[in-house]
Structure 1
């Protein structure tokens, strides 16, 4: 055992403008006129998001089903982002995925322990991350990250990112009940190559530097090494002392060695390290209830104006969020007779230390809210992929995962004279997951196949919590363990209408392991049942070579039993976990078009309609200040006159899920001479109104908005490129989450605004050889 996230009319107008211009980093790349470079994953055919010629139908090759396949042939809803698209508009953080892939949202507030992806409205974000994991798996070069917060960082040397929407537990490691973000970094090259990039952005002095070098050491041994440094001033002003909060200061590197001792064997070793120090993550006042609480009165007296535009805070305590992660992995691919045997052995650790003056006031109500969190994991995966083109082809494998978490937290409610409102907690957790899995295609004919997959797993989690109250000299503790078995499965069929069009239908049963609510506000460890989604999908994949058009569409319906979600309790300032039902249905589409074959003009349009709702959820917690008239009622069986404690959210909309998301973009290149090229990139991302708080509070509904990003670059081949770029050009102000203001009026609200919620612009220089 180891010790260890305009309005509708305006959006349509901007989207059409983007299409008429020219591709930004969107969810699908459009075919180009040149073959892709040799950047495949070890042991597979060319796996790259770079486009292929239209007449070869070699659009995008991905590994979403653990083998290299053409995107058009994969019976899944997959969005693919190429590394070149990430760099063209200077998208380089995990959180940027929400602006590029429809159906994806996230929460990213109050530090990385509370980070979480949401796909099709389904996701988990909680401070009880010692024993509760996210619903969206984040996979880096074949290795599943055991903590969602460990994925919150930058995106260097990326080959491509595959976003798999819907349950993916059959083939992917664990806890992929809502989907998978599969990140593939660049493979070491056979020729010496290198590049470097430096940029400066306004406002807040956003400075970024990265470098990459790759090439051969011998005829059979290749290497790659990358490094980056990012620094940005804070964008929230603290009125108490003038500090600039919510800044960024991080650096990291990755090294790879790839050895091919024989023609049939490839060994790939990877080591990476990442560190971020920041004065993060501070919220600001959005609205004030009646009567105002002490924090609101003080802030208003200082001249702070509550509202969406507010980027001012007034606190006297410390604010810091320092995180670091590192890992090593060894992948072996052995090929014989058309079979490929793959082994991935990995060890990773992630550590975060965060402290946040959480009282929204320059007085000591909750100045001390501190946690030190360490997670370490070991994983081993072995799988066998058969040859394709026969009656049956398959992928079989075994998986083992072991993670330990150790956290220490301190909260001091200085003015609350009650037991355990001055508390120190030591929490440990150990989770183990073992599984056997397989997926096969029965090729009835060249045009029709049946799809079947199974994963049998054992999931065990144990946790311990010890609390101390230094003021009252009290202690308490709890220790619990739970174990569950599950059979995850997938069944479906796929039919090729023509060589360039196919339809499919699948049914998938997923699983996300149970855990414990490690909330330090209470003594007990409450067990949270495993999450069990069932997903139905029907899809159409088409390719029109004469028109140079790719069009894909997927319809889905998902029902989730024991949906794990968390919301802030405004009275105890804790984040309890509740289990409920959730259901989501909708349609996703991707359109790529190259209007004129002889010109460097590419257009894309992708989007989703998602109707995500609670299922049976009659005992949901009330939101802050909710009245009886608004649906906050006593629990059944309570004495007459009891205060309201629950609301009925059955069939109500899920938060963090806009019904409509649209991404439009294009790129256009003009040759000025044989050596110089002018490149234009433009993108527009629209999301409709959504609730951004749990439990559902109608006052947290955020109007729809459009984000427009653009870049103009002058380049001389791969030698150099000088760019001017802009993000959020319409200066749309938005928040990613809201909650009741700590120590404020019950009906007051605070918001967390990300850096991207304001206009920014910059210059960058890229050089290479």
Structure 2
């Protein structure tokens, strides 16, 4: 069928639904950098979702969980603790006790490779990109399932300021600002952004007569940008995110009353993330581009949590972890004929202090450990035209890692590994606005040590993934409709899985293998007359091919925390007068909370609403999150011991002023 025939057919279908389409409107071009080189969204031979910071702010989305709801195949494990968000992508999950992740989060080139600190409040953000499929070729360890790439707004010659105040359910108060101004025109610029949010909890402590889970968050970013000439661009950035929360969103799995506890132990989460980085880009006379990113990423995880939810202090856990990573990356990129290439060097050093406390009726046990590590890597990435419509993307990375571990000041243990991570993609531009691609890529998750387990199960090896993907993407209807689809298969070997030898004695081993099969689709469509539709749908089937532990044989069972389906449908109307209204429905299928599939979180759908009205330079907006007040508690968390409660409906008003 010819392209014009297809377009006429689609226009006829839309007309039959009573939808008007205007040829003069089109979706704006989107440039993404998750591949470490600027590319249009439609030219990347991989599954990528991109979200503009302004669109996220208009929808009232200020965290990565909101981004995940709009992205096919991407969710988070229910934890009920701020700052601790294990990501789930394409059926691959992360065990928080392993201090690693299946997905990397990168903010302005600085990586976070653990679930601890895998969070961002999207303050001053220009764009969020979600790149799915193994990305170890470019990002190394712990990017075996994908990357979340966050790009913040750069200050420049144009003064900029946005201030917003917000009130909402459960006595929520929030103040946010984002501002920048040139200090010296064309040379020196300053950007600052900040946020303060506090909100009462919803879990009743019947013993103490109060809410147990109040939330408070402080967040700030600082950027000093220097452009001494046309060829050089340097940015010094500092970001801090602090949580000063009450107890986790936990309760007893056997409680007859929802969201009611009788805890005598005061729970709290006092965690802080700090990042300092220097990002320098210089264009050489030859046309090549050199980039250096030096960063110190620091996260303190301090928490106390009751686990029996009774007045007597019989069972509780406490953490006081300090994660420090110093990293350096150099990248050189350019063109060789019609080919685009990139080559780089990466090195980092980890220095983690770990302190874990567990209270039982018999004893109070405290364990202290030190985990250090070094890694170095060389990588390259090429995009080479083969013919008029054909091109190939190829990349490779070799990474050497060493980890060292000491428990309670005892004997030091070490673990070395060297991984080679290739990627190959073939792309065919079958029409000017449409292409198909096929790719194969390897990814891996780092090995490590079980900090709080028996000595016989101290170490575990890297987890390996090989992925095959077939996809199509493009634009239709004179660029009013943008789509992307993909099919994938991933084989996981030496799979890192959680086992429990004795009650309270949890550790990671390479005791399983699995296969993940799935399909994803997403589209954006300008219906015309101010209407816009955004949709995403993901199917995934991740099952153990082999896995046996003390609880039995888990062959064929679901990988914990991995849903079989995710979906999103959003509709927005922008009126000529400047006001807007939007509604979105997002859904996630049921997930199991353990390898034996005994405990689960049910599937659920959430309805979110938002509207805004302009008042000169100001805007008054309202939002409703979880409008149907859907309850989707994770019952049976911690091997059947606890329930992670889902938050209730939230209603809010926001006043925003822009210069």
- With normalisation by structure 1, the TM-score equals 0.79
Indicate whether 1:600 and 2:539 are aligned: no
Q: How does 1:651-670 map to 2 (within 5 A)?
A: 651-670=556-575
Give the drift of 1:749.
5.0
Task: Number of aligned residue pairs: give it.
Answer: 639
Does the 8 A contact of 1:604 with 1:664 survive in 2? yes
Show CA shifts across 1:303-325 (max 9, x none). x43xxxx1111111120110112
Deviations 1:428-452 (A, max 9, x none): 0012110000011221123111221
CA deviation vs aligned residue, 1:517-561 (integer Å, no higher than 9, x gap) = 112x53556111101100011110121143721121011111111
8 A contact 1:396–1:438 mirrored in 2: yes
Q: Aligned-pair RMSD on alpha carbons? A: 2.3
- Report the 3-state secondary structure (helix = DSSP H, G, I; strand = E; otherwise coil) of the residue aligned with 2:636: strand
**Deviation of residue 740 (structure 1)?**
5.2
Q: Is the 8 A contact 1:21 1:667 kept in 2?
A: no
CA-CA distance at 1:77 after TM superposition: 0.8
- Give yes or no for contact 1:529–1:562 (8 Å, CA) kept in 2: yes
**Contact 1:109–1:737 at 8 Å: present in 2 too?**
no
Residue aligned with 1:259, SS: strand
Given that residues 124 and 566 in structure 1 are in contact (C-alpha distance below 8 angstroms), is that contact kept between their aligned partners in structure 2? Answer: no
Q: How does 1:93-172 map to 2 (within 5 A)?
A: 93-109=63-79, 111=81, 115-129=85-99, 133-172=100-139
Distance 1:376 1:525, change over 3 A: farther
Identify which of 273, 277, 289 aligns with 1:340: 289
Report Cα offsets for 1:338-394 as digits up to 9, x if no partner.
321111111121112111122232223124x22211111110000111138x33221
Aligned pair partner of 1:707 in 588, 600, 606: 606
What are the superposed Cα offsets for residues 692-715 of structure 1, whole Å, 9 maximum, x if unpaired? x112334x2443221010111111
Question: Closer, same or farther in 2 for the Cα pair 1:31/1:656, shift >3 Å?
Answer: farther
CA contact (8 A) 1:480 1:525 kept: no
Q: Find the counterpart in structure 2 of residue 15 from structure 1.
A: none
The corresponding residue for 1:363 is 312
Q: Distance in 1 between matches of 2:73 and 2:220?
A: 31
Q: Matched residue of 2:235: which SS?
A: strand
Aligned with 1:401 (options 323, 326, 348): 348
Q: Does 1:377 align with 2:325?
A: yes
The question of 1:59 aligning with 2:29 is answered: yes
* Aligned 8 A contact 1:678 1:713 in 2: yes
- The answer to whether the Cα contact below 8 Å between 2:96 and 2:115 also exists between their aligned partners in 1 is no
* TM-score, with length taken from structure 2: 0.92
Structure 1 residues 104, 279: CA separation in 2 closer, same or farther (over 3 Å shift)? same
Please state if 1:723 is matched with 2:594.
no
**In 1, are the aligned partners of 2:397 and 2:420 still within 8 Å (CA)?**
yes
1:324-473 maps to which residues of 2 (within 5 A)?
Answer: 324-336=272-284, 337-367=286-316, 369-387=317-335, 390-413=337-360, 415-416=361-362, 421-466=363-408
Residue 539 (structure 2) aligns with: 609
User: Take 2:425 and 2:434, find their aligned partners in 1: how far apart are those partners?
Assistant: 17
> 1:687: how far off?
1.8
Match of 1:292 in 2: none
Tell me which residue corresponds to 1:84: 54
Kindly indicate whether residue 519 of structure 2 is the aligned counterpart of residue 548 of structure 1: no
For residues 338 and 726 of structure 1, the distance between their equivalents in structure 2, rounded to whole angstroms, comes to: 50
Q: Is the 8 A contact 1:163 1:180 kept in 2?
A: yes
Q: Which has the higher contact order (CA 8 A, sep 6+)?
A: 1
**Unaligned residue ranges in structure 1 (runs of 5+):** 1-19, 23-29, 34-52, 289-298, 468-476, 621-644, 742-747
Per-residue deviation at 1:737?
A: 6.4
Q: Deviations over 1:86-105 (max 9, x none)?
A: 21222212333332222112
Find the partner of 1:267 among 231, 234, 242: 234
CA distance in 1, matches of 2:127, 2:492: 30
Q: Quick check: 1:144–1:173 contact (8 Å CA) kept in 2?
A: no
1:171 alignment partner, SS class: helix
- What is the match of residue 177 of structure 1? 144
d(CA) in 2 for partners of 1:257 and 1:735? 43
Equivalent in the alignment of 1:566: 498
Match of 2:448 among 515, 520, 529: 515
Q: Secondary structure of the equivalent of 1:594?
A: strand
Structure 2, unaligned runs of 5 or more: 1-16
In 1, Cα distance between the equivalents of 2:49 and 2:595? 30
1:218 aligns with 2:218: no
2:654 alignment partner in structure 1: 764
1:751 aligns with 2:643: yes
* Partner SS state of residue 97, structure 2: coil
**Whole-angstrom distance in 2 between the partners of 1:750 and 1:247:** 19
Structure 1 segments (4+ residues) deviating >6 Å: 30-33
Higher-strand-fraction structure: 2
Alignment correspondent of 2:413: 480
Determine whether 1:502 maps to 2:400: no
Distance between the aligned counterparts of 2:638 and 2:138, measured in 1? 40
- Is the CA contact (8 Å cut-off) linking 1:173 and 1:399 kept in structure 2? no
Higher mean displacement: 560-569 or 510-519? 560-569
Conserved? CA contact 1:547–1:595, under 8 Å:
no
Structural mapping, 1:675-714, within 5 Å: 677-691=578-592, 693-698=593-598, 700-714=599-613
Q: CA–CA distance in 1 between the matches of 2:23 and 2:224?
A: 30
Task: Indicate conservation of the 8 Å contact 2:602/2:633, yes or no.
Answer: no
Deviations 1:607-661 (A, max 9, x none): 11111111221x13xxxxxxxxxxxxxxxxxxxxxxxx33111122222222221
1:649 aligned partner: 554
CA contact (8 A) 1:195 1:212 kept: yes
Q: Distance in 2 between matches of 1:537 and 1:87?
A: 33
Separation (CA, whole Å) in 1 of partners of 2:402 and 2:646: 36
Shift of residue 113, structure 1, vs aligned partner = 7.9
Aligned residue for 1:95, secondary structure, equals helix
The C-alpha deviation readout for 1:250-308, integer Å capped at 9, x for no partner, is 1121111111111111111111122111112141234x4xxxxxxxxxx5xxxx43xxx
- Alignment match, 2:507: 576
- Following superposition, the deviation at residue 110 of structure 1 comes to 6.0
- Distance in 1, matches of 2:251 and 2:307, equals 11
- The answer to whether the Cα contact below 8 Å between 1:125 and 1:566 also exists between their aligned partners in 2 is yes
Cα pair distance change 1:424/1:215, threshold 3 Å: same
Is contact 2:135–2:146 with CA below 8 Å preserved after alignment? Answer: yes
- In structure 2, the partner of 1:27 is none
Alignment of 1:285-300 (within 5 A): 285-286=252-253, 288=254
